[in-house]
Structure 1
Amino acid sequence: MTNSRTRFVLITGCGEGGIGHALAKQFVVNGLSVIATLLPHEGRKHLDHPQIHVLDLDVTQEKEMLPFKKHVEAITAGNLDVLWDLSAPALSILPDQAHVSPIGYTMTAADTDVRQVEKMFAVNVFGPMRMVHHFHKMLVSARGVVVNIGSIGGVCPYVFGASYNATKAALIHYGNTLRVEMKPFGVRVINVISGEVSTNILKSDMGDSRALPEDSIYAPLAGLFKAHINRTPDAMTPNEYAQGVVATVLKRSPPAWFWYGNSTLLVRTLDTFLPRTTWDWLFYRWFNLKTLEGTFTESGKESTSAQA
């Protein structure tokens, strides 16, 4: 990045108290000007700063992209140093914004409502793809950086998170390929493999709004599932997270993958040095899956006997 002009970072999803908000503040501290996006209904006083330009954007709406792009070009003179799509933040929850649209979906793989997953892919995967499609030439002009927020869920088979994990795995591999393809143009791509960070995602899963279907083969674990939904994870704060990742992104030669956030050391170590099936063994015990052995067969026999 050159210091002869104002440097700009575009961050999507900058709601108050979340990672995007923290990142915007941290980039300003480091001398960059920020273009922060919000949904139209979100408050914006928290982004009131002369170096922060606030624009409305829904990354799932293609029709909004061209008018939005024109605004960004006018602000940046066609040079974008960092593109950071935070429509898909890290793994974990902090229930502090009831109006945040859900982009997480906790459910067993077998009981998954694909309609919910389609919404999640629209934000978590297609949103970042859409942003790159529209802004890649501005990144090339500045020899900038694309930052994808991945997750440890995209690396390990975190139980009850198959769909969310799939979006993060898709984004990570998209970033891997994008990194190779953009190298000739001097654009770097960083996959941040995020651990437990206090964010606003999965709000819709909390309380009584998410439960296993009554006829689920996992019904014996209904209590454990509800406890998992309402857990209070040991999570890094957004400000701590922002300080670490911004410092790394602004390095002259940042890593292709940057693991950051609580639990990343454990996941990275196990995934690097032990067999893949180590995760099967661990999650089988952590989520008490052994209690399900034979339950469906026994239920079926009972149903057969009752019909007879």
Structure 2
Amino acid sequence: MGPQPGQKTVLITGCTPGGIGHALCLEFHSKGLHVIATARNPSVLADLGALGMTTLPLDVTSPSSIKTCHDQVSALTNNKLDILVNNAGRTHTHPATDIDIDDVRETFETNVFGVMAMCAAFSDLLINSKGLIINIASLAAITPYVFGSVYCASKGAVVSYSRTLRLELKPFGVRVMVAMTGTVRSQIASKTHRTLPEGSIYQRVKEIFEKRLTFSQNNATVKTEDYAKKLVANALKPEWPLILRSWFGRADWFWAGGWSKGVWASTFFGEWILDFVLYRLIGLKKMEQVLREEERKKKLA
């Protein structure tokens, strides 16, 4: 069943149950929008389909899959799309000195190139409706999230890309919101994680790395549905002039999730604050202690 006459539409990527995308589908649906939920395997979206949402297969790393989805959405919505939410993403926790470049490329294919490809492919439908693009970024884009250098780099790229995209699409009436997302409950803790290679210099503090793997699920973590309610409420606010936007209308920069307020506040004082906090919070002071002890033993040998 497609949208009703006059009903606004929203396409969301990465809508597997348990994640932000799925929660956003339910929240936008509750606000009266026609939701187009997507996932690589649309069979996992049966509960959303049962509620009247459109469910489509979509792999944001596949040009042919994106084109097929675009054509299906265009036919469904009469060549218009009001909101595009680029939520599909891939976690990547590994020390910078242990990364596998092919693995890194896969992360960038989803987190960065997938976002770029979706914006380019659906720009015509968004221009037709003077719509809104919401790119789900992360606090990791501006924080030294220890053992997350690849993930931080991918989300940093999304932030920089979105800032420029916002200006390029402004003449066409298309707006761009960047969601600076903190710790939010998801299925990340249940996924298969990367492991330290045998020769890693961090084997000395293996327990710190293993604790870091699920950090986002155990530190000021916000419920997925609460995050979704805040984002949707903000996205549906009216447009205001730039200088007033952050206080009254839809924000260009949406900050929510665990740690978001603290990280936002830190941006006024310099990066040294986050460097200081993250270094100690993750536990790298212990690495210093281990290395000092190794040096002491060498001198005594």
Regarding TM over 0.5, the answer is: yes
- For residues 128-149 of structure 1, the C-alpha deviation after alignment (integer angstroms, 9 at most, x for no partner) is 1111111101101100000000
- Whether 2:261 is the aligned partner of 1:265: answer yes
8 Å CA contact 1:37, 1:56 repeated in 2? yes
- Whether 2:197 is the aligned partner of 1:210: answer no
Corresponding position of 1:95 = none
- Distance (whole Å) between structure 1 residues aligned to residue 10 and residue 188 of structure 2: 23
- Distance (whole Å) between structure 2 residues aligned to residue 141 and residue 229 of structure 1: 42
RMSD: 2.5
8 Å CA contact 1:12, 1:85 repeated in 2? yes
- For residues 152-211 of structure 1, the C-alpha deviation after alignment (integer angstroms, 9 at most, x for no partner) is 111111111111111111101111110011100000000010111112336445xxx433
Corresponding position of 1:241 = 227
Against the structure 1 CA distance between its residues 282 and 107, is the aligned structure 2 distance closer, same or farther, given a 3 Å change threshold? same
Moved more, 148-157 or 13-22: 13-22
Structure 2: segments with no counterpart, 5+ residues: 240-249
- TM-score, normalization by structure 2: 0.87
- Residues 144-155 of structure 1: matches in 2 within 5 Å? 144-155=131-142
Q: Secondary structure at the match of 1:48?
A: helix
- TM-score, normalization by structure 1: 0.85
Task: Give the letter aligned to residue 205 of structure 2.
Answer: L
Corresponding position of 1:133 = 120
Bigger relative contact order, structure 1 or 2, given CA contacts below 8 A and separation 6+?
1
- Distance (whole Å) between structure 1 residues aligned to residue 98 and residue 296 of structure 2: 22
- Whether 2:29 is the aligned partner of 1:28: answer yes
Q: Secondary structure at the match of 1:279?
A: helix
**How much does 1:262 deviate?**
1.4
Structure 1: segments with no counterpart, 5+ residues: 89-102
Corresponding position of 1:59 = 60
- Distance (whole Å) between structure 1 residues aligned to residue 138 and residue 287 of structure 2: 28
- Whether 2:174 is the aligned partner of 1:187: answer yes
8 Å CA contact 1:189, 1:256 repeated in 2? yes
Which contiguous aligned blocks of 4+ residues in structure 1 show a shift greater than 6 angstroms?
A: 296-303
Task: Give the letter aligned to residue 165 of structure 1.
Answer: C
- Distance (whole Å) between structure 2 residues aligned to residue 296 and residue 180 of structure 1: 48
8 Å CA contact 1:151, 1:193 repeated in 2? yes
Q: Number of residue pairs matched?
A: 285
Q: Secondary structure at the match of 1:197?
A: coil
Task: Give the letter aligned to residue 288 of structure 2.
Answer: E
Higher helix share: 2
Task: Give the letter aligned to residue 88 of structure 2.
Answer: S
Against the structure 1 CA distance between its residues 226 and 50, is the aligned structure 2 distance closer, same or farther, given a 3 Å change threshold? closer
